[in-house]
Amino acid sequence: MNFWSVIYDLCQGFGVTLRLFGLTLLISIPLGLIFAFFSMSKFKPLSWLMKMVIWVIRGTHLLLQCVIVTFIPSVLLKIPNKDFAAMIGLNSISTLQFVFVLIAFSLNYACYFAVIFEGGIKNIPKGQYEAGQVLGLTKRQIFFHVVLMQVIRKIVAPISNEVITLVKDTALARALSVTEIILVAYEKVNKYAVLSPLLYAGVFYLAFSGLLTILFHFLEKKIGYYEVT
């Protein structure tokens, strides 16, 4: 076993892990905000539907959701995944698998974020909205200039927990043959009959979540410049 070639392949795998991680956050955070607004909507059917979806998604396993998403084209549209990939212009089935996983991850995390956002938004005292109203601000202005910063401040800690959980959850993608780092590590374990590649993979995770912890700590300090009312 060549140590450096194993590390090189693990790096490739970690690249996929990071891509899934980054894209999931990029989609699920704004989507979570939208979900939160839907869930708080005054239009009751929308609010109920959203709460139901959030309940189902949070109450079932991410792995299951990934699998369900992969079956959607073949079951609902009666198109095999290979043809479906070609149809939407993806050049390989493995890219399609990645997209499926990304969709499942984004929906799943959006639901978790939605709950955090909703909690944060509801936590803002009514007086803050009223102060904005009395000053003639629009609802938008009140949200973006008065409420949002206070919400962000209250939710950094729970959000950072979710983000760190996401780092580890990306390993689930291997069930759909997405070649993220753990899948690569297993291949090496099987090929060379040694456990060390898995340990190296662990070091990658550790380093990355360590980095995130430091980043979030910095962020919390940065926006914690004032005391919460």
- Interaction site with other proteins (CB under 8 A): 125, 127-128, 130-139, 141, 145-146, 149-150, 153, 225-229
Reported residue count of the chain is: 229
SS3 of 40-99: CCCCHHHHHHHHHHHHHHHHCCHHHHHHHHHHHHHHHCCCCHHHHHHHCCCCCHHHHHHH
Nearer to other proteins, 202 or 224 (CB): 224
**Based on CB atoms, which residue is closest to other proteins, 75 or 135?**
135
Residue linked to tokens 């839907």:
38
Nearer to other proteins, 52 or 131 (CB): 131
Distance in Å, CB of 149 to other proteins, minimum = 4
- The single residue listed with the structure tokens 């990304």 is 102
Residue whose CB is less far from other proteins, 37 or 129:
129
Query: What torsion do the CA atoms of 157, 163, 168, 171 make, to the nearest 10 degrees?
Result: 160
Closest to other proteins by CB, 73 vs 132, is: 132
Q: Shortest Cβ distance from residue 146 to other proteins (Å)?
A: 6
90 torsion bin: left (phi>0), alpha (psi -120 to 50), beta (else): beta
Q: How far is the CB of 41 from other proteins (least distance, A)?
A: 17
Shortest spacing between CB 65 and other proteins, in angstroms: 37
For the chain, the farthest-separated pair of C-alpha atoms sits apart, in whole angstroms, at 71
144, 193 contact by CB (below 8 A): no
Least distance to other proteins, CB of residue 67, Å? 43
CB of 25 to other proteins, least distance (A): 24
- Residue 226 DSSP class: S
15 vs 224, beta carbon nearer other proteins: 224
> In Å, how far are 61, 95, 172, 226 from 98, measured between CA atoms?
18, 5, 12, 42
